[in-house]
């Protein structure tokens, strides 16, 4: 049996940990630059406010119902997520961290699913303050469906037995099935397939003709057949992309240099975390696509390294060379980004004939020290001179909560 543990309204719940006065009150978490809704408490969901809706469209409702707004605080959410996943892995060995707020757990070793699920949820809530729900079923796809029903259950637990499949699958909208996106949902509706049970009855050949092999696996799992295993090792990314829209446009080449340098450094850090080297880098800058009174511009270019690398300075240097080629003075730029690609494992790449191994080893030790300092004292404790000293001009986060658990200056002060 497989369980799916999901943190309820995760971002909103994280904000409530250090603000217990907000429990049972409406909470919304906003996207970068406070643009759109990316998380809602149950109170907000009942108001009919949808995910992704721009803030300016609901300002009247926010004022009317005194909804508490928060800028996205990903350093806080990431740290709370790590704590929750460690609690799970300390109790159970076979765990797949699926996302920042979800984990698949092998429950086959347990006889009493509800007892162990309830105990785990209680421990997580007691140790972190985050409410969770757990759905248990024969496979991953069905455990996702079980979790959907768990969120509607007062106990936050739900178990689907194979004998009950038809009943619960028929109540599951096809658009809510794991792996079925918006476009697939439209196609299925056009073919009179409206719920998970309808999909499970379709012929294998028809599924293969219109979907991928993964689509067939999903259908088989809906029938109660286990096709998708729990993956305990995190998958290695095939590329790393970092991009942002700015709160205000800029024509300043120096500002763009700092932005691209910062993105390149962050991407390099992620590259080192997965023990990879990149062979290529793609840089792009954009004007504001929502301004209709002038032509929209998108400039980009790609370049390759002489030898695969994850070195901050080399990646920044290459990214700025590309920026210098694509930047056109006079344009007001609203977005920028970089993409690192063509990865090889740090243990498997071919050393170049003329590579200076002594220098490479020195740079490797330097990057290791660089990461250790930032991991110990907080992100951005040390950075290269070409990076931004602050990003307040391009990021609008007027409702940002403190990073209580990751920054020394934000540690909660309690008066006794």
Given a contact cutoff of 8 angstroms between Cβ atoms, the answer to whether 88 and 105 are in contact is yes
Q: How far apart are CA 361 and CA 54, in angstroms?
A: 49
pLDDT in tens, 192-223: 999 999 999 999 999 998 888 888 999 999 99
Q: Tell me how long the chain is.
A: 416
**Rounded mean pLDDT of 402-408?**
85
pTM, rounded to two decimals: 0.80
Q: How far apart are CA 276 and CA 237, in angstroms?
A: 9
Extract long-range pairs of 175-180: CB within 8 Å, 24+ residues apart: 176/148, 177/141, 177/144, 177/145, 177/218, 177/222, 178/140, 178/141, 178/144, 178/145, 178/218, 179/141, 179/214, 179/215, 179/218, 180/218
Task: Give residue 294's pLDDT.
Answer: 62
Q: Does pLDDT of 248 surpass 90? A: no
Q: Does pLDDT of 268 surpass 80? A: yes
Task: Give residue 184's pLDDT.
Answer: 86
> Which of 89-98, 99-108, 353-362, 400-409 has the least mean pLDDT?
353-362
Burial call 326-336: b when 16+ CB within 10 Å, e when fewer: ebeeebebbbb
Task: Give residue 91's pLDDT.
Answer: 87
Which domains does the chain possess? 3-74 (3.40.1170.60), 77-222 (3.30.70.270), 240-377 (3.30.1490.100)
Given a contact cutoff of 8 angstroms between Cβ atoms, the answer to whether 391 and 380 are in contact is no
pLDDT in tens, 33-79: 888 999 999 999 999 999 999 999 999 999 999 999 999 999 899 99
Can you read off the two tokens belonging to residue 96?
């797949």
Element (H, E) at 345: strand 333-345
pLDDT in tens, 163-176: 889 999 999 999 98
Task: Give residue 292's pLDDT.
Answer: 57
Q: How far apart are CA 334 and CA 245, in angstroms?
A: 6
């Amino acid at each position: 049996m497989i369980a799916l543990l999901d943190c309820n309204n995760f971002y909103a719940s994280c904000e409530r940990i250090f603000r217990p006065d907000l429990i049972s009150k409406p909470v919304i978490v906003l996207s970068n630059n406070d643009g759109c809704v990316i998380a809602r408490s149950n109170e907000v969901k009942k108001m009919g406010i949808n995910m992704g809706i721009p803030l300016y469209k609901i300002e009247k409702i926010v004022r009317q119902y005194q909804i508490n707004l928060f800028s996205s605080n990903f350093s806080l959410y990431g740290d709370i997520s790590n704590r929750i996943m460690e609690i799970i892995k300390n109790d159970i060995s076979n765990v797949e961290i699926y996302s920042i707020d979800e984990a698949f757990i092998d429950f086959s070793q347990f006889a009493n699913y509800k007892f162990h699920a309830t105990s785990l949820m209680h421990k997580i809530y007691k140790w972190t303050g985050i409410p969770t729900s757990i759905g248990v079923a024969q496979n991953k796809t069905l455990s996702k469906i079980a979790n959907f029903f768990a969120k509607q259950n007062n106990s936050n637990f739900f178990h689907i037995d194979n004998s009950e499949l038809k009943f619960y699958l028929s109540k599951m909208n096809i658009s809510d099935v794991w792996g079925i996106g918006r476009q697939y949902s439209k196609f299925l509706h056009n073919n009179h397939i409206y719920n998970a049970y309808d999909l499970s009855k379709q012929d294998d050949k028809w599924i293969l003709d219109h979907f991928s092999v993964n689509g067939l696996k999903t259908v088989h799992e809906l029938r109660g057949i286990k096709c998708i295993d729990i993956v305990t090792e995190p998958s290695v990314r095939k590329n790393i992309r970092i991009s942002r829209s700015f709160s205000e446009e800029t024509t300043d080449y120096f500002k763009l240099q700092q932005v691209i340098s910062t993105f390149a450094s962050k991407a390099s850090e992620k590259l080192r975390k997965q023990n990879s080297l990149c062979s290529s880098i793609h840089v792009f800058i954009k004007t504001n696509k929502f301004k209709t009174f002038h032509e929209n511009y998108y400039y980009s270019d790609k370049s390759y390294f002489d030898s695969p690398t994850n070195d901050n300075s080399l990646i920044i240097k290459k990214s700025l060379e590309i920026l210098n080629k694509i930047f056109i003075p006079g344009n007001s730029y609203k977005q920028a980004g970089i993409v690192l690609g063509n990865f090889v494992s740090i243990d498997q790449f071919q050393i170049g004939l003329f590579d200076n191994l002594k220098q490479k080893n020195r740079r490797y030790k330097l990057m290791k020290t660089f990461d250790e300092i930032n991991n110990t004292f907080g992100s951005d404790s040390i950075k290269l001179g070409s990076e931004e000293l602050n990003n307040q001009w391009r990021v609008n986060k007027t409702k940002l909560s403190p990073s209580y658990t990751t920054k020394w200056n934000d540690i909660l002060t309690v008066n006794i």
